[in-house]
Amino acid sequence: MTHQSWWTRRYGTAAPEIELPTNDVLDLLYRHRSVRAFASGEVSDAAVTAIVGAAQSASTSSNLQAWSVIEVRDADRLAELARLAGDQEFIRRGAVLLVFVADWARTSELARRQGEPAGAVDYIESTIVAFVDAALAAQNAVVAAESLGLGAVYVGAVRNHPEEIAELLELPPGAFPTFGVVLGHPDPADRAGVKPRLPQAVVRHRERYRLPDDGEIADYDEAVKRYYRSQGAERGWLRAAIARVRDAASLHGRHTMRSSLERRGLSSR
């Protein structure tokens, strides 16, 4: 498939009509899709080592590298993690689950060994730094996995029961599970494709912010509906987005995140 075809799939009729630069990296990024249907087959240790190397090559705030990743392959542990993370079957069927961790335990321990305090870890800025570092690392990991022909999907539901997952993974105080990434070989029978994104006119602001008009959102909502119809489903974007912000129930238990962070040693004050 050509570079322009991937671009058109990503934006549909909202694709900007300009001549674009092209290269293999851009093509790889444009054709990203979440894979939730996996075929059998292991992901080698060499592949995961390369993927984690790519993750460690991501930018990190002040070179603090305030993140870690737990590689899970054991079937029983995967089953328990799947149960805690929304009971999603693809977690069980993937070859490996990478749980990305916001990690101040390591640096706090190093400070302790030097006889120094680690009081700055208690502030929300430090919590944000660790979460951002973990997210940047994970995005590099996903791109690396896709470059190797693997499929990947993020698992935000790791935060549904973060304290139980922290206990299962034996995380020390100051380390918090942020999200997971399932890796595996995509099922060739899977019909999922490149999902449309909001038009650039909605997310790309020139000089100053502006809210989108109803027409832009309606056009995008229809593009998403067309995509899901091609998958045999009936759903759009607008109602799903509104449902996600409606009330605390839409957070699936994550409305207690602040207290969970505090109990895990990240008071985030």
For residue range 120-147, what is the model confidence (pLDDT) as tens digits? 999 999 999 999 999 999 999 999 999 9
DSSP state for residue 195 in the 8-state scheme: P
Q: Is residue 82 part of a domain?
A: yes
54-to-58, 142, 232 alpha-carbon distances in Å: 7, 9, 36
Q: How many structural domains comprise the chain? A: 1
Confidence grade of residue 2 (pLDDT, cut at 50, 70, 90): low
Mean pLDDT within 148-170: 97
* Whole-structure pTM value: 0.94
How far apart are the C-alpha atoms of 259 and 256, rounded to whole Å? Answer: 6
- φ/ψ region of 140 (left if φ > 0, alpha if ψ in -120 to 50, else beta) reads alpha
| Average pLDDT estimate for 164-168 | 98
In tens, the pLDDT along 173-230 reads 999 999 999 999 999 988 888 999 999 999 999 999 999 999 999 999 999 999 999 8
| Residues 48-78: tens digit of each pLDDT | 999 999 999 999 999 999 999 999 999 999 9
CA dihedral 234, 97, 147, 21 (to 10 degrees): 60
Query: Given a cut of 80, is residue 252 above it in pLDDT?
Result: yes
CA distances from 141 to 87, 102, 118, 193 (A): 24, 16, 29, 20
Domain boundaries, position 138: 33-193
10: left (phi over 0), alpha (psi -120 to 50) or beta: alpha
Would you say residue 99 has pLDDT above 80? yes
Contact by Cβ (8 Å): 78, 168: no
Please report which confidence band the pLDDT of residue 231 belongs to, taking 50, 70 and 90 as the band edges.
confident
- For residue range 14-31, list pLDDT tens digits in order: 667 778 888 999 999 999
* Predicted local distance difference test score (pLDDT) of residue 265: 95
DSSP 187: P
The string of DSSP codes covering 5-72 is HHHHHHHGGG---S-----HHHHHHHT------EES----HHHHHHHHHHHHTS--GGG---EEEEEE
CATH code of residue 163: 3.40.109.10
Q: How far is the first Cα of the chain from the last one, in angstroms, to the nearest whole number?
A: 50
Tokens for 199?
Answer: 């038009």
